[in-house]
Structure 1
Amino acid sequence: MMAVLGGGVAQASPSAEGTGAPDTTRGPCAYTVTPDEPAARPVPLPPDPRHTPDRGHPEVLLRTNQGPVPLVLDRAQAPCTVQSFLHLVRKKFYDDTTCHRLTAYPTLKVLQCGDPSNTGEGGPGYRYSDELPTDLAPAPNDPTGLRRIYPRGTLAMANAGPDTNGSQFFLVTSDSVLRPNYTVFGRITPAGLATLDKVAAGGIVPNPDSEVDGRPALTTDIERAKRTC
């Protein structure tokens, strides 16, 4: 469901149906329900104040069965994304979910999470616009000149095309080459990278479609996501 990384599509929120709630929030982030894509887990639209907080670095801990994955978010870089992510953490949207995709391509090494349905097809019932990075280094030897390096330790949103951010996100385990079409909204701490390195070293469950793209052999469950700072 995503141009390169799959999933991350915003989906309809049952909590907004039949309640008179607006289909789009009135603030600058304009979180919008997507009725054609039922939510994987009911959750209301995020708050959307007139001024989106754009300073500070909130910290979130993903407590997984493979070890801790602490994250440091960046409000200045992607204020609407951080606001949505913290909302989903607060509503326990990510609790008891499984990271459904690990990639081991030469130029794309990520773990993707954030879908309570554990299929890669689920989202939170809403979508919102991209906040694309402008400071990523160009990929070397790229004849198109369009690709950029998403460095090891990057935290970014998955999507299914322009302005389809929802709940799925990816954690970059090694420098990866992509077009700059994915919102970067934070980084993974060294302790988190140690956990992700273990997951990546475990490899991918064999499947008929790909040897380098599939479910991690070391099943990685987010037992709880919580804000720590």
Structure 2
Amino acid sequence: MATGKDRQKQLAREHHERQLKRRIEREQKAKKLAVVGSTVGVIVVVGGIVAATALLGGDSESTAAAASPTPSAGVPTPEGSPTPENTVTPAAGPKAFDAKTGTCDYVADEMGSVKNVGLPPKKIKPKKLPATLTFKTSQGDIEIKLNTDKAPCTVNALAFLAEKGYYDGSKCHRLGNAQFPMLQCGDPTAKADGKGEADGQGGPGFRMAEENLQGATYKRGVMAMAKTMAPGTTGSQFFLVYGDIGLSPDYTPVGTITKGLDILDKVNKAGVITPGPAGDGTGAPKESVEIKSVTTS
């Protein structure tokens, strides 16, 4: 005959099992949420404006463009309203650039498949940051004029990752379509062969706050950073826009493409190998885009 203590132990065990199950489910969903932050997402049409359900990236990038299904930021996660357990809150997340001290905040994050090359330097001098970024790819050079003044911590992180060879040999893993015209890159673990469900889950082992969001738009020629639905989850993944996307202003516009839009048009014309599992028509590009190296100036 069961005693009161036995019943308490059973209830505690069942509670623990439920918590563990919910945690596993959240992690599995997070790894599939990235639209441009990290993995795949669901594209919806709202009032004629096409948006995508978060990321541009899988988990914290974990990072594809992670897009919001509504014009407002901070939308609820698929599990419901944001809570300390399933979202990164502004209080717990990385802080914005502190202009007085010249300090950026990079928070360690081991979610997803990590290629860890260390943390970028936190103390920066914006005027000494690079003004341009060049991706030397298998399809040709893609040059970016960086928004150094408005996104100093993001530019600093990109320059750091470029210097460490983080992007070298990586493949752009997700190509959009007419409704979501972008090419997502920045996952060093992505296979981009149309078979890798884990594509988009790779990250640098850290995350940072979003920048330059006021009035942000994602029109042809914009380079923006991917993230999940939660704030403060920008990592290494990014998306290059070759059309106009009606996303909410939640993803750091880090630069403008000054050379290489013809490459994106060519890749877009070739289409995807196989549409991804989300059923949104996006997937690995048939015209493979491999980043050979990245330089700054």
Return the TM-score normalized by structure 2.
0.62
Alignment-mate amino acid for residue 158 of structure 1: A
Between the two proteins, what is the percent identity of the paired residues? 37
Instruction: Report SS of the residue matched to 1:214.
Output: coil
| 1:214 aligns with one of 283, 287, 295 | 283
Which segments of 5 or more consecutive residues in structure 2 lack a partner in the other structure?
Answer: 1-32, 35-52, 63-93, 96-100, 191-198
TM-aligned CA deviation for residue 219 of structure 1:
1.0
Contact 1:60–1:225 under 8 Å retained in 2: yes
Alignment of 1:134 onto 2:214 = yes
1:15-58 Cα offsets, whole Å, 9 max, x none, are xxxxxxxxx8997321011144452x220100111x55157762
Which segments of 5 or more consecutive residues in structure 1 lack a partner in the other structure?
Answer: 12-23, 137-148
Alignment of 1:174 onto 2:243 = yes
Q: Using the alignment, how far apart are the partners of 1:221 and 1:38 within structure 2?
A: 19
Alignment of 1:95 onto 2:164 = no
Q: Using the alignment, how far apart are the partners of 1:83 and 1:196 within structure 2?
A: 25
Q: Using the alignment, how far apart are the partners of 1:181 and 1:54 within structure 2?
A: 25
TM-aligned CA deviation for residue 222 of structure 1:
0.6
1:168-226 Cα offsets, whole Å, 9 max, x none, are 0000011111011101111111x311111111111111236336211111111111111
| Runs of 4+ more than 6 Å apart | 24-27
Q: Using the alignment, how far apart are the partners of 2:61 and 2:276 within structure 1?
A: 28
Contact 1:59–1:70 under 8 Å retained in 2: yes
Change beyond 3 A, Cα 1:162–1:44: same
Alignment of 1:28 onto 2:103 = yes
Structure (1 or 2) with the larger CA radius of gyration:
2
Q: Identify the structure with the greater strand proportion.
A: 1
| 1:156 aligns with one of 203, 206, 224 | 224
Instruction: Report SS of the residue matched to 2:203.
Output: coil
Contact 1:103–1:212 under 8 Å retained in 2: yes
Aligned residue pairs: how many?
Answer: 200
Return the TM-score normalized by structure 1.
0.79
Q: Where does residue 188 of structure 1 map in the other structure?
A: 257
Alignment-mate amino acid for residue 113 of structure 1: C
Q: Using the alignment, how far apart are the partners of 1:155 and 1:37 within structure 2?
A: 23
Q: Where does residue 223 of structure 1 map in the other structure?
A: 292
Contact 1:31–1:127 under 8 Å retained in 2: yes
Pairing 1:44-63 to 2, within 5 Å after superposition: 44-49=118-123, 51-53=124-126, 58-63=131-136
